[in-house]
Amino acid sequence: MNTPLRLGIAGLGTVGTGVVRIVRQKAETLAARAGRPITISAVSARTRDKDRGVNLGDYAWEDDPVALAKRDDVDVFVELMGGSDGPAKAATEAAIAAGKDVVTANKAMLAHHGHALALAAEEAGRVIRFEAAVAGGIPVIKALTEGLAGNDITRVMGVMNGTCNYILTRMQATGQGYNALFEEADKLGYLEADPNLDVGGIDAGHKLALLSSIAFGCQVDFDGVALEGIQDITLDDIRHAADMGYRIKLLGVAQMTGRGLEQRMSPCLVPAKSPLGQLEGGTNMVVLEGDQVEQIVLRGPGAGMGPTASAVMGDVMDIARGFRLSTFGQPAATLKPCAQASSATPARYYLRMSLDDKPGALAKVATLLGEAGISIDRMRQYRHDDATAPVLIVTHKTNRDALDTALTGIRRLDVLAGEPVALRIETV
């Protein structure tokens, strides 16, 4: 039998425990598929005595993940602690310096330090694999780096945070507002310790930045991702969008334009009958568009023990088989900084506002839109029982700068009751 591939696992939360279970329960299958046994030498976590529902007695314990990363009996350092800096980064750097390959699920660390870590790994002749960092069990990294390597990617788009998709779809299904569904998601354990990572779009933005780097051959630039969360989406927006044939999703979009790389993570309207529009609950979906394949849709569980541990093990198996690939699909030294687009590609927009119910109110809004060069495609005014009238407008394609100019003027009107809402309508 060939020499075993020996793992050192740092982080024994949901995902780390799932990896241990797979290695223990599927030892014969893994060995047959990899051509060599997959074993665990040592583990590390913050709390040693916690009952994790899996036997850890066969493995050495290290309190310090850096010490784990340096062990002579570890071939692959599996980093599942999380966090953009601190122990995760220190241990990953130590593993590379000690000549170990790295498998990680840490999107935040790679979004902030991915290029530097990739350079270090490749200079040391090591690999960093991170399928589990993006979209859980969906093999989107493999799709981009391997299956679609012969394509010029034109656009990457998707729903990459299951918590946000859960909240938005539950708002539509139950008629409950954002706050109630936020509390429900929290009780179910769907939210990060810092909920803003989820609902603020940061978690999904990390993932989009990683996919952008692979898709467009540029250095990871999380700071270039325009972020907007779902906190301001109301039940009225959900219902009005549905009335017009749309669903609201926290949607990530990355595309290379003549103005530079466009990366944005924001609530958007998508056609209700599109694959993205039909996506329910905590499921993720990534849409990849290339010049040879046109459009590919990948759908699956975006989080959880089984799906994420599955992605970790896919990377471990590639290393066991001797498959070596640059971190972001091409040598890190060839990745250049990409100029960031100063504005988003023109699109149609959904506008919602409440106007005082008096003559000429709507005409004033239409005038300001027209002066900004924005034409109206559709408009709807809802019945009302108070002194304000809910109005919906769908524009023809316009750029965001023109829209912001119009909205600035609209906010100054003496007929506006409350803050107007503007959401992009994405072509799918």
Q: Which positions are catalytic? A: 207
Residues in the chain: 428
What CA–CA distance (Å, rounded) separates 158 from 134? 11
DSSP line for 247-269:
EEEEEEEEEEETTEEEEEEEEEE
Contact, 410 vs 420, CB < 8 A? Answer: yes
Contact, 307 vs 115, CB < 8 A? Answer: no
What CA–CA distance (Å, rounded) separates 235 from 243? 12
Q: Say which DSSP state 322 is in.
A: T
Map residue 424 onto helix, strand or coil: strand
Residues 393, 396, 400, 405, Cα dihedral to 10°? -60
Q: What are 23's strand-pairing partners? A: none
Residue type at 97 in one-letter notation: A
Contact, 406 vs 399, CB < 8 A? Answer: no
What CA–CA distance (Å, rounded) separates 36 from 2? 5
